[in-house]
Amino acid sequence: AAAEKGGYATFMEKEIHEQPHAVGDTLLGRTDIEGRLVLDDMSITEDQLKDVDRIIIVACGTAAYAGMVAKYAIEHWTRIPVEVSLAHEFRYSDPIASERTLVVSISQSGETMDTLMAVKHARELGALTLSICNTHGSTIPRESDAVLYTHAGPEIAVASTKAFLAQITACYVLGLYLAQLRGGTFADDAQSVMKELHEIPAKLEELLGRMDRVKEIARFMADTRSVLFLGRNVGYPVAMEGALKLKELAYIHAEGFAAGELKHGPIALIDAGQPVFIVVPGPGTPHELHKKVVSNIQEIRARGARTIVVAEDGDEDVVPFADEVIRVPATSPLLAPLLTVVPLQVFALHLSSAKGLDVDQPRNLAKSVTVE
């Protein structure tokens, strides 16, 4: 078993370290000689895709957070409205879809019953169905019109890590593909985003080499009973994923919030010593979101929170208000989740092992839930 874990103590740790490859391999072979993006199995025609006027992403758990990241990117690049629906909520909500609706399911296993039922229902409604999946020949891709495989390799740990990064990567590829196909104002920029995406694996490698302080923070926090996570824009689903990891692995009460929502309620939770992770948008993010989040950090710090800030290299604005700064390499704002989520994964893993818990097999959870 030790050999299977490649020298790591747990499958999860091994899989976290496989993330540069998960992203790189998912990007592999996605561009043809003319520089155009390609998908896998397609019984959806280019004309059908050109006519799509609405996208609904269906997924559960971590995969649904990948979908939330995708919404921001795909809408920005294609101007097609994107909704994200938890698969079990979609199926029984009397959803609206037509032959111009593209229902994108995201699933590591390809066997999640809730997601499968949503896909089947979408087909009944006449929608086009595309599966983003990590498992060749599994049920969901077989029940879909088209598939875009993620190449994360088998994921053994119950808590998803490398599959999440691969799912986000595949969603970016899909978004850029649609942008090119439809030739909108963004079509010309698609190649430069692809270039930046190809730089992510090396940045991940570098980031994974600087996790010592995160591990230390996790060990110091073994007795913590509640942790909050804040993020904004694509950092918002990252905050929720950070909270989910902590619930799953360390059985700690954790919640992710949109940073802008803080003043509308959650700020009441802040008292002395409350640990809060803040995923800070890069200084280059439009609409001054960086500045707005920095002022959120200042607000909660003034109320006694212990602020653990995930910020880009070189972002000095956060320093005066941070108890801890965790640095991630810079990238363009929409791609940042591929980097900012990593310290949150590492934190949850090490807090779980500091508590002596079973990292790979948390209580009450299954890797793939094949019942509704």
| Binding site residues, ligand G6P, CB under 6 A | 60-63, 107-109, 112, 115, 158-160, 365, 367-369
Q: Which is nearer to ligand G6P, 140 or 178 (CB)?
A: 140
Pairwise CA distance, residues 16 & 239, whole Å: 18
**Least separation, in Å, of the C-beta of 302 and ligand G6P?**
36
**Least separation, in Å, of the C-beta of 323 and ligand G6P?**
30
**Least separation, in Å, of the C-beta of 129 and ligand G6P?**
15
Q: Which is nearer to ligand G6P, 11 or 186 (CB)?
A: 11
DSSP 8-state class, residue 281: P
Q: Which is nearer to ligand G6P, 78 or 138 (CB)?
A: 138
Q: Which is nearer to ligand G6P, 55 or 64 (CB)?
A: 64
Q: What angle do CA 223, 346, 206 make, to 5 degrees?
A: 145
Structure token pair of residue 293: 């989040």
Q: Which is nearer to ligand G6P, 107 or 345 (CB)?
A: 107
Q: Which is nearer to ligand G6P, 161 or 331 (CB)?
A: 161
CA atoms within 13 A on the CB side of 251: 13
> 81-119: b or e for each residue (b if 16 or more CB lie within 10 Å)?
ebebbbbbebbeeebebeeebbbbbbbbbbbbbbbbbbb
**Least separation, in Å, of the C-beta of 333 and ligand G6P?**
25
**Least separation, in Å, of the C-beta of 125 and ligand G6P?**
21
Question: Considering all CA atoms of the chain, what is the largest pairwise distance in Å, rounded to the nearest integer?
Answer: 58
**Least separation, in Å, of the C-beta of 86 and ligand G6P?**
10
* Nearest one of 188, 145, 197 to 170, comparing CA atoms: 197
Q: Which is nearer to ligand G6P, 73 or 117 (CB)?
A: 117
* Nearest one of 179, 144, 145, 152 to 62, comparing CA atoms: 152
**Least separation, in Å, of the C-beta of 156 and ligand G6P?**
12
Q: Closest CB to ligand G6P belongs to which residue?
A: 61
Query: What is the Cα 230 distance to its own chain's centre?
Result: 15
Q: Which is nearer to ligand G6P, 62 or 331 (CB)?
A: 62
Cβ neighbours of residue 274 closer than 8 Å, sequence gap 6 or more:
226, 228, 300, 304, 305, 306
Structure token pair of residue 63: 């995969």
Pairwise CA distance, residues 300 & 229, whole Å: 12
**Least separation, in Å, of the C-beta of 169 and ligand G6P?**
15
CA 67 → CA 57, 119, 148, 285, 342, distances in Å?
A: 6, 15, 14, 20, 17
Q: Which is nearer to ligand G6P, 167 or 340 (CB)?
A: 167
Pairwise CA distance, residues 115 & 54, whole Å: 19
**Least separation, in Å, of the C-beta of 167 and ligand G6P?**
8
